[in-house]
Chains A and B, each alone.
Chain A
């Protein structure tokens, strides 16, 4: 537990100095405040930007942050120093993961306030956002764990992040894209968020998210076993 706290604290201290990570956490929460207050178009659905940016936020921030943090520590070999100091790889990942989760949860709170969610709808919104954050974190962790350095990690993380964060937006305008996007958790989360207060969660929502989750856990486990079984792969 102590080691997890140490890693968590390290990330907190690093945040203000790490602009690329900081931007990820702040961009969409700030953007949603601006757009919701500045842009008023007739016939625009209520809280359009909240629903749009919330999904982009969870598709982007947890994924890129996890992969950037882990791959940087692999490249600089600070992760190896930690492991040589008897920090367990699980402790490290939980430390970084809980930090990213809390930062993204803070962003989620901003979305919730701007979207004026309350009661059951608020609970539903926070829940589905949390699931999205965890799924994106797992995906980002897999990329970070398997990459040798930040360059290769970014090379994989950017396209993957684009799929998860932009497909739900593009599918608003194009049925074909929507049919493809349906298999991603971010599209399903987008559907749930858009239906909050209108209709409930569908079976499709649950099934697709569950399958995505199972796949992410499987990938994560495989990557974890592959890279952390020998210290020289870290």
Chain B
């Protein structure tokens, strides 16, 4: 199959549904091989943007290019280089995991070994003969990931890949996503979990009410909003103190350390969660 360059570029993508604007002039520039995270609360327009990029929906205006090709001109054959998981993409509930993947192995001309591999990769080898409808939510998610990964796609579009999963299951999925990146895949994921984005993504965009309100590297965004610039020190006597991060504090800090009075020290750089609240005045889990 022809390899697709995984870069994604959008310019002024807008979309409304019956008069209600859901995406407002979205500009993105995602490099081949990067993990990009689209963050935002429920209803921000994340899924809509994935639908547009993957050709399930057309934008009202604006342009998008994947691997340099206008998304309007991407053929069904090229779309096979996409690995897509979305919440509403179902599985064949009466068929077992193996037979579910076998359908797509048949379409893509893959072997039995490919199916076994894919199941192993997502940790479903033992559930091979289990009907997909009997799987837990987390396992269904992994089956869908196996379906998306099995075809060795060049770009992964993962819509909330860890939503509703327990932390251990989510960590498994994070590992898989990072593994795909190591193989040079571009990953476009959406999430409303800030720590997930901080951990995985090379770049993120914060989406709020259909508009991008911040865009860049997670660390840089946090640093940008670090207006307090203080050091938080937990003392051995149980007290917490905050002292400004400047020249004048050097002596105080040195003394606290040398006298063994300081137990822990942290910078007060905000996390993405706090940044998001500061920008939008909204909590992510509203």
Contacts and interface: CB of A to CB of B under 8 A. Distances in A.
Interface of A: 2-3, 5-6, 9-10, 13-14, 17-18, 75-78, 80-88, 230-232
A88 B147 CA distance: 19
A14 B99 CA distance: 10
B77 interface: yes
B84 A84 contact: yes
5 smallest CB-CB distances across A and B, nearest first, come from A76-B90, A6-B106, A86-B76, A17-B94, A78-B90
B95 A17 contact: yes
Given A84-B56, A86-B77, A231-B56, 11 more contacts: A3-B107, A6-B106, A9-B103, A76-B90, A78-B89, A78-B92, A81-B84, A81-B147, A82-B107, A84-B82, A86-B107
B90 A10 contact: no
Contacts of A10: 92, 95, 99, 103
Nearest to B105: A6
A88 B103 CA distance: 14
A18 B131 CA distance: 12
Contacts of A86: 76-77, 79-80, 107
Contacts of A231: 55-56
Contacts of A82: 103, 107
Contacts of B108: 85
Interface string B67-100: 0000000001101101010101111111100010
A108 B238 CA distance: 85
B33 to A, nearest CB: 23
Given A81-B89, A84-B54, A86-B79, A5 B94 contact: no
A17 to B, nearest CB: 4
Contacts of B88: 77
B107 A2 contact: yes
Contacts of B109: 2
Contacts of B256: none
A20 to B, nearest CB: 11
A9 B95 CA distance: 12
A81 to B, nearest CB: 5
Contacts of B103: 6, 9-10, 82
Contact of B93 (A76, A81, A84, A232): A76
A17 B131 contact: yes
A80 B106 contact: no
B79 A78 contact: no
A77 B89 contact: yes
B279 interface: no
Contacts of B76: 83, 86, 88
A152 B92 CA distance: 20
A82 B92 CA distance: 11
Contact of A85 (B80, B91, B131): B80
Contacts of B151: 85
Contacts of A9: 103, 106
12 contacts: A2-B107, A3-B106, A9-B103, A10-B95, A13-B99, A14-B92, A76-B91, A76-B92, A77-B89, A80-B89, A81-B89, A85-B151
Contacts of B107: 2-3, 6, 82, 85-87
Given A10-B95, A14-B95, A87-B107, A232 B90 contact: no
Given A2-B106, A2-B109, A10-B92, A80 B131 contact: no
B225 interface: no
Given A10-B103, A14-B92, A76-B93, A84 B57 contact: no
A14 B94 CA distance: 7
